[in-house]
Amino acid sequence: MNFPGYRHPTKHARINSAIIRCLRDTGDGDYIAARLAARHRLVPQFLWSAEQALEKYLKGILTLHRVSALNIGHDISEALTRIEEKLGFAIPLTSQQKEVFEVIAEWNSDRYFLNHIGVKGHELNYLDQMVWRIRQFCQPLDVMHYADEPTRAVLDQNVKMIQGRELTAPREGNVTGGRLEKMLTDKNDPARSALVWKNLMFSTSTRKKVHRRNHLHMGNAPLWLEPDLIDDFAKLLQVPKPLQEGYRQLARVRAREKD
pLDDT digits (tens, 9 = 90+) for 53-74: 999 999 999 999 999 999 999 9
Separation CA 160–CA 156 (nearest Å): 6
Burial status of residue 16 (CB atoms within 10 A of its CB: 0-12, 13-18, 19 or more): buried
Separation CA 59–CA 68 (nearest Å): 8
For residue 190, give the 3-state DSSP assignment: coil
Please report which confidence band the pLDDT of residue 1 belongs to, taking 50, 70 and 90 as the band edges.
very low
Separation CA 176–CA 143 (nearest Å): 14
Separation CA 213–CA 198 (nearest Å): 11
pLDDT digits (tens, 9 = 90+) for 189-228: 999 999 999 999 999 887 777 877 777 888 899 999 999 9
Q: Are 234 and 257 in contact (CB under 8 A)?
A: no
pLDDT digits (tens, 9 = 90+) for 78-130: 999 999 999 999 999 999 999 999 999 998 888 889 988 888 889 999 999 99
Separation CA 63–CA 22 (nearest Å): 11
Buried/exposed code over 197-227 (b: 16+ C-beta within 10 A; e: otherwise)? ebbbbbbeeeeeeeeeeeeebeeebebeeeb
